[in-house]
Structure 1
Amino acid sequence: MAIREIIEVPDPRLKQVSVPVETFDDELKTLVEDMFETMYDAPGIGLAAIQVGVPLRVLVIDLQPDDPDAEPVACDHDGHHHHHQPTKKEPRVFINPEILDPSEEHSLYQEGCLSVPEIYAEVERPARIRARWQDLDGNTHEEEMDGLMATCLQHEMDHLEGVLFIDHLSRLKRNMALKKLEKLRKAA
């Protein structure tokens, strides 16, 4: 197990489209273990393989529902509670995920991203989806999702297409977010 480096904007790799997983082997299992370790360490609630520089269609999500202070989506960087309870709660792996039947009804969540540190913005997405994906053994699953899980899965799946949550914002809001990030980096 190893914590891998999370790449951040404007790394061009975040814009590439990830390729499907074809071999369900030990290398894939190691990647997924490392992704969980990296995500919990950050801490965050979702991570796509491309965020650790691997352009494969692999996502890990753990909403860690007991944490009252977690950000609605992705990364709460002061994360006090995560460190007191580093327990894995509901780790889930999605390989080659697809979305079927997105609802016409949309929901709005404040989202963040480990690759766009400390920036949060409201993003509108279908409130309910049906998802289909494979597990580490290559078996196919289907599930109806709503609420935070639906939002988080869609957010992570965007990464597979080279899309970040800030790409859903107006150009003005996106530029403001990126300027803010630059300022935060200079201050650090």
Structure 2
Amino acid sequence: MILPIVAYGHPVLRVQCPDIDASFPDLQKLIADMWETMYRSNGVGIAAPQVNHAIRLFVVDTEQIVEGFDEEDKREYPNEKGIKRVFINAHKIEESGIPWAYNEGCLSIPKVREDIKRGEVVRLRYMDENFQEHEESFDGITARVILHEYDHIEGKLFIDHLPPLKRRLLKKKLDDITSGKVRMDYKMLYPKK
């Protein structure tokens, strides 16, 4: 089932989410719905808070990015290997490497894109959809997408990485999203007025 995506300004996007266990109600259905919602909205990742669930869960598919690389991308990211993965109870162990800028957007903040600097590598401890524990490092585009989704379960948004002046310049656009003036071809859940 395609779920509505929570729009900027909704309080669930600012919650530092708690861990869950295997008894979380209808977890496998929620994961399946998140995949369907993410693909329907042309995303490469989506976190549970974006579908109004304040839990430590996100899904990422960077295989689709790597498959879509043009020749320039292949030269710039020659070792990039995409993943398609579920992350439950993820906790960042380390973010390392030289911070690099990449133009990011967010399904919850439609029509806003900005260059955001993040580390080259992220090391996480997490569980998969079968609650098997993993500790793994990711780099490149995959690390970037993971860090973006990880921010969501920490109650942060990509715009929080911008300097204050840049954030002030975005205020009108952000207010328009919060008030429901920005419409997308996917269903949005706007904050209550």
Structure 2: stretches of 5+ with no match in the other structure: 74-81, 184-193
1:66 paired to 2:88: no
TM-superposed CA distance for 1:11, in Å, is 1.0
The residue type paired with residue 118 of structure 1 is K
The residue type paired with residue 27 of structure 2 is L
Deviations 1:72-102 (A, max 9, x none): 9xxxxxxxxxxxxxxxx95310011122232
- Name the structure 2 match of 1:81: none
1:158 paired to 2:159: no
1:17 is paired with a residue whose SS is coil
| Distance in structure 1 (CA, Å) of the matches to 2:95 and 2:83 | 24
- Name the structure 2 match of 1:121: 114
| Distance in structure 1 (CA, Å) of the matches to 2:129 and 2:25 | 9
- CA change 1:119–1:33 in 2 (3 A) is same
TM-superposed CA distance for 1:117, in Å, is 0.3
- Name the structure 1 match of 2:26: 27
Identity %: 38
For the 8 Å contact 1:24–1:137, the answer to whether it is kept is no
TM-superposed CA distance for 1:182, in Å, is 4.5
RMSD over aligned CA atoms reads: 2.3
For the 8 Å contact 1:117–1:181, the answer to whether it is kept is no
| Distance in structure 2 (CA, Å) of the matches to 1:102 and 1:90 | 18
TM-superposed CA distance for 1:172, in Å, is 1.9
| Distance in structure 1 (CA, Å) of the matches to 2:174 and 2:123 | 34
Higher relative contact order (CA 8 A, sep 6+): 2
The residue type paired with residue 52 of structure 1 is V
TM-superposed CA distance for 1:67, in Å, is 2.6
Deviations 1:15-45 (A, max 9, x none): 1111111125671111100000000000100
TM-superposed CA distance for 1:62, in Å, is 0.7
- Name the structure 1 match of 2:79: none
1:9 paired to 2:8: yes
- Name the structure 2 match of 1:169: 162
The residue type paired with residue 162 of structure 2 is L
Instruction: Determine which of 107, 116, 130 is the counterpart of 2:123.
Output: 130
2:96 is paired with a residue whose SS is coil
- Name the structure 2 match of 1:92: 85
| Distance in structure 2 (CA, Å) of the matches to 1:24 and 1:126 | 34
- Name the structure 1 match of 2:102: 109
- Name the structure 1 match of 2:43: 44
- CA change 1:148–1:187 in 2 (3 A) is closer
For the 8 Å contact 1:45–1:62, the answer to whether it is kept is yes
For the 8 Å contact 2:110–2:182, the answer to whether it is kept is no
Normalised TM-score (structure 2): 0.79
